[in-house]
Amino acid sequence: MPTLKELCRAAEGELVGTPGVQITGVASLGSATKDQIAPVESARWLEAARASKAGAFLAHKDLATRLDRPAILSPFPIAALNKVIEALGLVPPPQPPGIHPTAIVDPEAKLGKGVHVGPFAVVGKARIGARTVLEARVVVEDTVELGDDCHVEPGAVLHAGLVAGSRVRIGANAVLSRQGFGYAPSPKGPVKLRHVGRVVLSDDVHVGACTTIDRARYDETRVGRFSALDNLVHLGHNCLVGERSFLAAQTGMAGGATIGDDCEIGGQVGLSNQARIGNKCRVGAQAGVIGPWEDGSTIWGCPAMPKTEFLRGVAVLRRLAKGEEKGPGEEAGA
Alpha-carbon distances, residue 280 vs 206, 253, 254, 262 (angstroms): 19, 18, 20, 5
Q: Are 97 and 80 a contacting pair, CB within 8 Å?
A: no
Secondary structure (3-state) at 88: coil
Q: Among the residues of 136-282, which ranges form H helices?
A: none
* Rounded distance between C-alpha atoms, residue 12 and residue 7, angstroms: 8
Q: Could you say which DSSP state residue 183 is in?
A: E
* Rounded distance between C-alpha atoms, residue 280 and residue 263, angstroms: 5
Catalytic residue among 159, 195, 234, 237: 237
Q: Is 237 a catalytic site residue?
A: yes
Secondary structure (3-state) at 44: helix
3-state class percentages of the chain: helix first, strand second, coil last, to nearest 5:
15, 30, 55
Q: Are 16 and 71 a contacting pair, CB within 8 Å?
A: yes
- Supply the Cα-derived Rg of the chain in whole angstroms: 25
Q: Please list the active-site residues.
A: 237
